[in-house]
Chain A
Amino acid sequence: MKRWIAILAVIAIAAVLPLLLSPTGYWIRVLTFTLLFAAMAQVWNIIGGLANQTSLGHAAFFGIGAYTSTILVLKFGISPWIGMFAGGFLGGIAALIIAVPTMRLQGHYFALATLAFGEVMRVIANVWTSLTGGPVGLSVPFVPPSIAAYSFKQLLPHAYIALIALIIVTVIFEAIRRSAMGYRLRAIKENPAAAEVIGIDTTKVKLQTAVISGVLMAMLGTLYAQVAVFFDPDTVFSAASISIRVALIAILGGVGTAIGPILGALFIIPVEELMNDLFSSGAAGLSQLIFGVILIAVILWRPRGFITVFDSLMARFSNKARS
């Protein structure tokens, strides 16, 4: 009961927050990207947290989503809402293709294989000029603003769409975690041989997880394309600013928990923006350097993620309430 009140309160605050920011300002953009990256990290968390398979190639699915919906608008005038599902479908297929050979790999080997897959997709998008426009990138065409066309004059609706997306993927994450699949994934994570012997089809469960994560990541790619309006292969298929960043957000926040990626994004995206804002006029790379130092400090302080700060605060709070 208490839990539900807390969740509703957080959603209410999140729903009001965009209204308090200047609709044409800089921070509404930061908020939108924070919510979007929280959702992306949550989707990564399905495979990275629940299945314990550290993917460093999620940009592959993200880029597929961004390109699919944008190409469908450009070439056929199909609404990005529909393009989003087409992208999700292709993202799922891509996830299946990469998961079949890499699934047996564990730890670093899986991470490296997925990293390579993301890079391959980036190269393909750069080279396949007739479809993707190559290194020049694509611009989402301007159409008269309407919900059906997924086109808005301001960022505010994008912020709300990102918020809704975050809520949806968090519900999906939590539903999986509590379902039979969640139990099976925990078993596989802790002891794959024992999991098999008690009847878990470890191959099938891992494939399902990879596909769900791939589909959702591709769908979020459409959301990104619609906010960013312009993108090129090096942005949406980026190893550093997509693949590694979503993994970092989830890990820094608390991997395998529903709150972790949200905490991680609330920290990383605004701090990164703030550093750029404060120090970008200084020496080249100074802002990244300071951001890097902050990240290292945070990881040293809380190796298991911000979730541990959150947990101890909750424990203190409930102890006080009892005494």
Chain B
Amino acid sequence: MTILDVRGISRRFGGLQALSDVTFSVPKGQIVGLIGPNGAGKTTFFSTLVGLIRPDSGTIQLDGTSVVGQKPHKVAALGMTKTFQNVALFAESSVLDNVLTAGLLRHDVETARKEALICLDRVGLKSVAHKLAGNLSFPERARVELARALCTGPKVLLLDEVMAALNPVEMQEIMDLIRSLRDDGITLLVVEHHMRAIMTICDRILVLNFGRLLADGTPEQVANDPVVVEAYLGRSMEAHK
């Protein structure tokens, strides 16, 4: 069953074609990796999916409903949200309040608080629930981002570099978490620069280069695709060996 169907998405910023005719569809419960060199359009693409950026052309269907032209809060209500790559927490609020606020999309304050604690527990941050979000370390803040997005109760969750700057143990924890979210029926799109992590957890990988979809396949197919290796993977794979 297709949960996310993207057809012909293009977006131009001035002279830069940030996204060019991006088309793919994702069945429910898949973990899809989105990779590509810096500036390939990964973050722009996520922003377009959740409604922060309006595409010049193309259609996006979430669980059968068109979301192009909808405001982000509407897209979130329909079941798709994202984390922010450079972390966009409510820094002056507590960690708990950050996550609780997301829970208000589907619950009252008291239920949202309980949900928020469950989400914080899943990312392993229950112990810092009452700290100010702005006082956490960068990797911790990225996990609060994840918990906050999770607390909106999404069908499709877009994770933009939540593993940046994590140590191997923490990275393993987040990978386990991503798998358990998939087991809960959530479909995940993951942008990540850490190749080994992405090759391990993803069922499928999309490669974006200059706003264009370069390849779409299993990790093995993509890793052995000469076009991909030339454009991006080769050097990066070497670097991570």
Contact = CB atoms under 8 A, between A and B. Distances in A.
Interface stretch (A29-37, A125-133, A183-191, A237-245): A183-191
B81 A197 contact: yes
B105 A198 contact: yes
Interface stretch (A159-167, A199-207, A208-216, A271-279): A199-207
Contacts of A193: 52, 72, 84, 88
Contact of A197 (B52, B89, B100): B52
Interface in A158-186: 178-180, 183-184, 186
A248 B101 CA distance: 30
B73 A194 contact: no
A183 B100 contact: yes
Contacts of A202: 73
A199 B52 contact: no
A196 B52 CA distance: 9
Contact of A179 (B92, B93, B105, B109): B109
Contacts of A183: 97, 100-101, 104, 109
Interface SS of A by simple majority:
helix
Interface in B111-127: 112
Contact of B101 (A178, A187, A201, A203): A187
Interface residues of A, number: 20
B108 interface: yes
B143 interface: no
B101 A191 contact: no
Given A183-B101, A198-B102, A199-B102, A190 B109 contact: no
A99 B104 CA distance: 24
A198 B90 CA distance: 12
Contacts of B91: 190
Interface string A54-73: 00000000000000000000
A108 B52 CA distance: 24
Given A179-B109, A183-B101, A199 B89 contact: no
Interface string A129-145: 00000000000000000
A201 B81 contact: no
B109 A194 contact: no
Given A180-B108, A198-B76, A186 B90 contact: yes
Contacts of B93: 186-187, 190
Contact of B89 (A178, A184, A191, A203): A191
Interface of A: 178-180, 183-184, 186-187, 190-191, 193-203
A-B residue pairs, 4 tightest by C-beta: A199-B105, A199-B76, A196-B72, A194-B88
12 contacts: A180-B109, A184-B101, A186-B90, A186-B101, A187-B90, A190-B91, A196-B73, A197-B52, A198-B81, A198-B101, A199-B73, A199-B102
Interface of B: 50-52, 71-74, 76-77, 81-82, 84, 88-93, 97, 100-102, 104-105, 108-109, 112, 148-149, 151-152
